[in-house]
Amino acid sequence: MIKINDPLTLPCGAVLQNRLVKSAMTERISNHNYQSTLGHELLYSDWARSHAGLMITGNVMIDRKHMESAGNVVFDNEMMLPRLEAWASAGKLHDNHIWVQISHAGRQTNRFGAMRPLAPSEVQLNKMGLFGKPKAMTEADIDEVIKGFVRAAKIAKKAGFTGVQIHAAHGYLLSQFLSPNTNQRTDKWGGSIENRSRLLLTIVKELRWTLGPGFPIAVKLNSADFQRGGFTEEESLEVVKLLDAEGIDLLEISGGTYEKLAFFLLNEEENDVRPLKESTKQREAYFIEFAKKVRAISKVPLMVTGGFRSYDFCNEVLSNGEVDLIGMGRPFITNKDDIADFLEGKIPRLENRVLRTGIKQFEDSAEGGFYARQLIRYSKGRQFKLNMSPLWCSMFLVLYEFRKAMAKKILG
């Protein structure tokens, strides 16, 4: 019987000391030069004490003009290596792995960062008026993106991070290329699923050649966009086959975009984007059913993030071979001091703490703001604070993004 505290050897030969992963959560705490800070070291040294086998950083961007958040770190030159080395060291304090999630926001760059962000096609994201109409990328733009991913991965390895994850989910640039809703190109980068996946596959190949056979390369991929005319499960499975042929070391399954926040919801029994079978509701993990379909066609190690809260259920899906790694995000905020005991089975269940405003239109932004504020508190050495105004939390991210972006422009 496989348990969550059993080690895992990846295809590249790297060994994770157990099957628990702190999945990516945006930290939003870079300095005005887009560098990591002491806050990153505090966060990751604290999380390292959980003894999680792997920690994946929040969005690290390849282009400071296309940020997911004004507080993102950007890996675009080696002058920041001393700070990055300290961050990587903090994440390895207890023989943990720490991987860098590398990303480009594309059309999901808000107006505070770019009024006309680059994207596969000129399809605007309509959400709260925060996003401008994008410009369709040229061949030269696409080439720069490929070089940017390679440059960021090289910096990550040189700094001492132990792996990288390519973010091709949640509606960011690589996900935009995969979706026919956002990729309406008629050249070799659009049309068929083979063409729409070309950018992702090219980046995977370039990273493997650059980083070598023994360095872990992971991909985060949507199971689907959950939107009419978007990236479907059938297309996702075709991409999985292509990734399998390239020999990636880990596939994390997620789903949704900024317009359909399947990856964001805490409780799959409420506000989900599509009807769920009762059996699925009872089984805790959002994307486990799709993982079974992936398992049927691919041998790539699998990770699912979302909904895992009980020790027995984690061990059940691992023993059944449904997944190889258990991803958790928000428990590393709300239950971070319990994770080490959870790994040993001393704490059987991690209880959700769910914020509700009572106003449906504000639920997503309130929860996002609540958890963002907790991360920022931790990065300053403060403790978890449960009692926060839901209304203030709902406004926090927009106000924080604006202030952070303006400060960078003034100081930069």
Q: Rounded mean pLDDT of 346-362?
A: 77
Token pair for residue 23?
Answer: 């999945």
Whether 256 has a pLDDT exceeding 60, the answer reads: no
pLDDT in tens, 60-83: 999 999 999 999 999 999 999 999
What pLDDT, on a 0 to 100 scale, did the predictor assign at position 280?
39
What pLDDT, on a 0 to 100 scale, did the predictor assign at position 112?
87
Of 145, 131, 160, nearest to 203 by C-alpha is: 145
What pLDDT, on a 0 to 100 scale, did the predictor assign at position 288?
86
Question: In terms of pLDDT, which residue wins out, 276 or 371?
Answer: 371
Length of the chain: 412
Token pair for residue 253?
Answer: 């399954």
Q: Considering the entire predicted model, what is its pTM? A: 0.92
> What are the residue ranges of helices labelled H in 212-352?
233-246, 278-282, 288-297, 311-319, 331-334, 339-343
DSSP state at residue 111: T
Whether 200 has a pLDDT exceeding 70, the answer reads: yes
Pair 393, 101: CB distance under 8 Å: no
Residues 6+ apart with CB under 8 A from 81: 155, 158, 159
pLDDT in tens, 296-339: 999 999 999 888 999 999 999 999 999 999 999 999 999 999 99
Mean pLDDT of the chain: 89
pLDDT in tens, 161-186: 999 999 999 999 999 999 999 999 99
Distance CA 299, CA 104 (A): 28
Lowest mean pLDDT among 109-118, 186-195, 254-263: 254-263
Lowest mean pLDDT among 31-45, 203-217, 376-390: 376-390
Token pair for residue 88?
Answer: 């990587």
Whether 388 has a pLDDT exceeding 70, the answer reads: yes
Q: Rounded mean pLDDT of 382-402?
A: 89
Q: Rounded mean pLDDT of 353-360?
A: 68
Domains recognised in the chain with CATH numbers = 8-362 (3.20.20.70)
